Structure 1
């Protein structure tokens, strides 16, 4: 493929405030200049006003890294305490989207107002009179009529507010503020080598580093001063032997002419180092719009739908092959993990994005097979020979028709929307006989009855289709269908015909309200995922006992538990025999009048010990200690959501040997977390099994989130010492305490944890005790680099 085949615009992906490499190279001077611009010297009237600081440079040079470095700087945090916002702007430039993200970060929740004007007014109110630092990453618009309305609102902030803008277009910088412009140059060879070696040398001995250094410095020259290239090559070389480093240095694969800014050279090295199946999976991502956020499981299911994996043993193996492929691509920096500051504590759903250069690279390699089309016209006829096609629909006045009929070679068709105001185009998909993937999520008007003719379809996504009330009976003809996604759509009934889908593996139907499920679901023996199935007391609908034959299930989210009928049905569900089950969520129904029923049902639904993730929601039993709880030796994630804690203590959760994430949300009635919670016995209760014995309590816990309005006491172990033999939460990284209004103090053991992030929200007494230097608990948390206190 030659450069003439490519006509794609580069664009950076969304940005979070977290640095992917702990040390930043080659930007000390830029950092000092930028911090000087942020300071208030008080020497001039201009210095006290709102100041715009554009930062300009080519893609991959480190503009975003510099911005995040500034954003996380201790002096900057002190200067703009509690009022720092980082937003990825990207394309198209939408003030409503920007305003919404700013509001979310300032108040910690999604604004509830509806309509553009109301949202802008809310945006104005949220920053009015406040001194803030706003980082707008990846601004592309050169139109002053798009930029001016945003600037006008920003001027309502308090004196000393600052706006840092990153862009690769100098015209944008000049429009925003030429006076304070900072232009970034390429990294030096030394800095490229420092960054590359930081990643590539991880885990290597000093002797190995000396042997690799001579070759590595030559490899670093190929980075051409781009930090992205250094990170990519570092990831590639990290697991290679010295002779493989030589191979990377000497491989003659730089054949593409006029590749824009030579950014693809390091990506080509990583791409050609991939096995053929991983190349195909990477290439498939070219079909998605830029800045698209991937859900790991969703992406893997689409790869499987295309038949990319060839299992050697059985069909169940393809899921594992997909996970391995995803992890390999992520390790080589083809994917970037997304992470959010607020309330991102459940890690079951892994999401990621592609850097714009990586995405552009994928499209460059696959232009003839994969096509991503943006539709702006009122009439558009798509006449492409691509095997995989995506359409991104923009807001229009007149509803056009898109004809993609008779494209017999088409294997994938996906429709995306870049605005909630977009109308769904009437789409004809007659004679698409080879279609394997169909995604029509969004404001879909209707689902044609001839969908049953797509007999090779393996993946169907109708999420957010708010106008579809039911699935046509012809859905039962899709005998090869493996994945059916119905997130947040208006469908009220899962019809009986779905029971004919004998190859269905993943069924998602999470709704705003309850959904009626057909009893025929219980006959789908291939099911691995069933979310969010509502248990009905009516015999003609899906009941709890209908789980009995679904022994291949790996992930279950069941709601409506805890009614009288379930006392008998729970045993028939046979959760304890489902050895494949690794992810279980149980949501109960009712109030404290159902205490005894909840207790019996929870006890009877004990899962197999292979379980890795457990969520229990809205449970109202007196006791929260089912006999099977401590047998879950493989449990990694535990979430208790909206449960009423009538006991004063927890089971000894600190004895779980593998628990990494614990989320206690909305636990009304919970008053104390004490030694029993940590796993220390203070009474004469019988000992728990010796396999839980450990020198550490919560030995692998990394994430802890507590939302408990009644919690008034959290203590550790009596007589515990910092340097003593007992370690408590020795791997804790993040702690979120929210609405713990009665809690006044933190436990002593926190001062010995490697805590990196502490967030305390809406807990006034605790926030007072954690004030820097003056608070009574400050000595327990003074080692934490990132502390966020908000009222």
Structure 2
């Protein structure tokens, strides 16, 4: 679920940020107070507070918080000048978080009552009466806790009077989203022998982009037998680099939207076996190797790696990107290519592109002149230019432009050529709902490939994304926020795959997110001596030194993650201690752990929203107590290959939205799944014994996403019980016949996204797809080795936007009438040799049918005129590569 990787703060970055980022965490206080006020004002909590006799305290908290909120923005502006103001802000943040925990108790109590009532069990009702959930006991507890919160908040409000703060209203400036562009550049592997060419420049200047353009130039394929791309980033770990090189060299590129390259299973090999495997792959090969974002200045480590890869053929080359001239000198065998900033002319052209619609700048000559002054401060750095331009897009207010030009952040001391003030300025102008969510990108490693689904799960689990009655779905709300972050240039390598987005976060943007959240988020490594009391989100990047002593001060942790693949918690006692200590956990991701049993005490985490036990290969059973986690929205058992059965009572998880299952079970309890009224996404992976998903008539009325992967015994599909299904993945199911019992009559479907891959019993596309003629937007067909033709009814898909056909070698024809697919914007055909030839530009017999499509990928040929022009310029600069 939330698979992470190590992220460390570099010493020189600490120095750099000290001048203007050291106190950025306070900007959250206003956002947190605003979020809490929305909750306090909701009808649900108002009614609950009346029912339990705490309405007056709730109203008092709301009134006091409204007064405090009014002066928070002024407090944030003056915290540097007034002694004690920063501590005052921290106290407000803590009491807001504690108040939210108390309010969530109402929700927990309500869910408990629903479960007890629905069960009809006398035993459960008796147990509820004698537990702490008894209404009288709960009333007394809530009364005490609400009075404590109110008292603390009243005291903080009185203490704030001594700072003479002024009320500042919020200017909710909204940036209009620009149309999404498609400028993605693929990154794969490379190959060469020991001529090392460094590319040097400050962060955000375009070193990686330049390397990608060279790496993906078609002439490189002709010049090198092997290419490898390795992102180094923070740690120059020889073993990790060797693994990445082997995987990069072995990866097979696929045009499928979400298909990942199948990589060799080399994780368990020791370094001796790995270096042998690498040298075997490189031996006698002329290769190009890109080492991207190198920070290592340890010459011994570099020589160690260089010695491992000396076996390549003459003419092999290594392309290195780094921000450090000294590292470039240490590694390079030729003079460094020092990447310079854009010229003023090009900078201003780029700025205009992002700040105005085409030609619109002519209407605003005064803004153009201010824009030139803003561009000067960006020092030729594309990321800074683009970010500031985006923040002003379609905003023609003169004062706003002058504010960006004259903002005092530009006068703060900073390192030479630093561009982070530009990012900070754009961050300050985000709406509060974006700022808070943005900070949590720092939980993930640099160069991490995000999907919109995992970010949506993270935001929902932390209460940053909520749905109102009658409003848009949570997943759509998350995509809208991602759209806006992309429009503000905080995301890169952005791709829309129909069902989901894929994107990355620029290194400097990642640094910004890390500092924004630094008081709330802690990365636990071997240097961590204790967990501070105020920390609420833990990411364990090294577990060698984990012990109870680390955690004795902390008590308010809401998130525990293990970021490194293959590394989880290996102590049952420590896991039990966390469950006992952190009663308000929202996210517990213990993927890749090795405990054999989950403690019964898991039921204490009644606020838990997300639980991932992914890739725990020892766990055989789950305690029934897990079914008492009524707030749970995300549960992943994916990769738990020894799990014998799902826990009885699964249907009690009435809030569950996402469920990922691997089990040895052959029969599923249909009653349990039918009780999951909010289930949105359901996944079955590596369920080898499962022959049928569901055979009864009970509908899964809320299910919209179904993923079935590597279920080798599965025979058929229950479309009749999935009335709201919109997304379907079917991958590597050897026995599955998708046409079985589904051909007649054709039922109308709501499906928008369909991915079918490697189902050997499927020789034709199933006819039921025709039932989605009015809704299907994305169709991905991969590894259909027997597929000979596409059905004529495919041309009736009036809303189809994306069609990818990969590795269907017998497919020779496109259906007539392809031009009727008027909505089709993205067509990719690869691994279909004869069909690809018929689709060749100009000469192919099908070219006239598809030439109008906006994005075409036919075999190795891609229609990307702008990219071609950029590559041409780069080749001129690097003609001696």
TM range (shorter): 0.7 to 0.9
Cα displacement (A) at 1:312: 3.8
Pairing of 1:135-174 with structure 2 (within 5 A): 135-174=290-329
Change in Cα spacing, 1:302 to 1:402, as seen in structure 2 (3 Å) is farther
- SS of alignment partner, residue 525 of structure 2: strand
Cα displacement (A) at 1:57: 2.6
Match of 1:731 among 854, 859, 877: 854
1:603 aligns with 2:726: no
CA distance in 1 between counterparts of 2:434 and 2:362 reads 33
2:278 corresponding residue in structure 1: 123
CA distance in 1 between counterparts of 2:462 and 2:277 reads 45
CA distance in 2 between counterparts of 1:153 and 1:724 reads 47
Change in Cα spacing, 1:411 to 1:673, as seen in structure 2 (3 Å) is same
- SS of alignment partner, residue 302 of structure 1: helix
CA distance in 1 between counterparts of 2:422 and 2:229 reads 29
Q: Does the 8 A contact of 2:730 with 2:756 survive in 1?
A: yes
CA distance in 1 between counterparts of 2:216 and 2:788 reads 41
Q: Does the 8 A contact of 2:538 with 2:561 survive in 1?
A: yes
CA distance in 2 between counterparts of 1:162 and 1:721 reads 37
Cα displacement (A) at 1:613: 0.6
Pairing of 1:83-122 with structure 2 (within 5 A): 83-109=226-252, 110-113=263-266, 114-122=269-277
Change in Cα spacing, 1:562 to 1:412, as seen in structure 2 (3 Å) is closer
Cα displacement (A) at 1:240: 3.0
CA distance in 2 between counterparts of 1:205 and 1:160 reads 50
1:61 aligns with 2:205: yes
- How many residues of Structure 1 are paired with residues of Structure 2 in the alignment? 669
2:151 corresponding residue in structure 1: none
CA distance in 2 between counterparts of 1:604 and 1:587 reads 24
Match of 2:583 among 399, 418, 433: 433
Change in Cα spacing, 1:302 to 1:661, as seen in structure 2 (3 Å) is same
Change in Cα spacing, 1:715 to 1:21, as seen in structure 2 (3 Å) is closer
Q: Does the 8 A contact of 1:286 with 1:359 survive in 2?
A: yes
TM-align CA RMSD: 4.3
Change in Cα spacing, 1:121 to 1:423, as seen in structure 2 (3 Å) is farther
Cα displacement (A) at 1:234: 2.7
Pairing of 1:425-464 with structure 2 (within 5 A): 426-427=574-575, 428-429=577-578, 430-446=580-596, 447-464=598-615
Change in Cα spacing, 1:83 to 1:249, as seen in structure 2 (3 Å) is same
1:350 corresponding residue in structure 2: 501
- SS of alignment partner, residue 496 of structure 1: coil
Cα displacement (A) at 1:281: 0.5
Q: Which structure's relative contact order is higher, taking Cα pairs within 8 Å and 6+ residues apart?
A: 2
Q: Residue deviations 1:220-249, cap 9 Å, x none?
A: 123133222112123323343354762553
Q: Does the 8 A contact of 2:562 with 2:568 survive in 1?
A: no
CA distance in 1 between counterparts of 2:215 and 2:583 reads 52
Match of 1:231 among 359, 382, 386: 386
2:649 corresponding residue in structure 1: 497
- SS of alignment partner, residue 233 of structure 2: coil
1:612 aligns with 2:752: yes
Q: Residue deviations 1:466-508, cap 9 Å, x none?
A: 2323322211111011111233233342222322100001112
Q: Does the 8 A contact of 1:461 with 1:484 survive in 2?
A: yes
Pairing of 1:135-214 with structure 2 (within 5 A): 135-177=290-332, 180-205=335-360, 207-208=362-363, 212-214=367-369
Which sits farther off after the overlay, 290-299 or 194-203?
A: 194-203
CA distance in 1 between counterparts of 2:425 and 2:836 reads 56
Q: Does the 8 A contact of 1:620 with 1:643 survive in 2?
A: no
Q: Does the 8 A contact of 2:674 with 2:699 survive in 1?
A: yes
1:653 aligns with 2:794: yes
1:742 corresponding residue in structure 2: none
Q: Residue deviations 1:341-381, cap 9 Å, x none?
A: xxxx966443333222112212222222222332367xx54
Q: Does the 8 A contact of 1:599 with 1:622 survive in 2?
A: no
> Could you tell me the TM-score, scaled by structure 2's length?
0.67
Q: Which structure has the highest helix share of the two?
A: 2
Which sits farther off after the overlay, 292-301 or 273-282?
A: 292-301
1:276 aligns with 2:416: no
Q: Does the 8 A contact of 2:693 with 2:718 survive in 1?
A: no
Q: Residue deviations 1:29-54, cap 9 Å, x none?
A: xxxxxxxxx9xxxxxxxxx9732222
2:124 corresponding residue in structure 1: none
1:52 corresponding residue in structure 2: 196
Q: Does the 8 A contact of 1:535 with 1:543 survive in 2?
A: no
1:306 aligns with 2:462: yes
1:318 corresponding residue in structure 2: 474
Q: Does the 8 A contact of 1:55 with 1:184 survive in 2?
A: yes
CA distance in 2 between counterparts of 1:564 and 1:286 reads 40
1:632 corresponding residue in structure 2: 773
> Could you tell me the TM-score, scaled by structure 1's length?
0.74
Cα displacement (A) at 1:164: 1.8
2:630 corresponding residue in structure 1: 479
Q: Does the 8 A contact of 1:633 with 1:656 survive in 2?
A: yes
Q: Does the 8 A contact of 1:700 with 1:732 survive in 2?
A: no
Q: Residue deviations 1:125-153, cap 9 Å, x none?
A: 22222222222111111112321121112
1:574 corresponding residue in structure 2: 721
Q: Any unmatched runs of 5+ in structure 2? A: 1-16, 25-180, 253-262, 868-874, 876-881
Q: Does the 8 A contact of 1:633 with 1:657 survive in 2?
A: yes
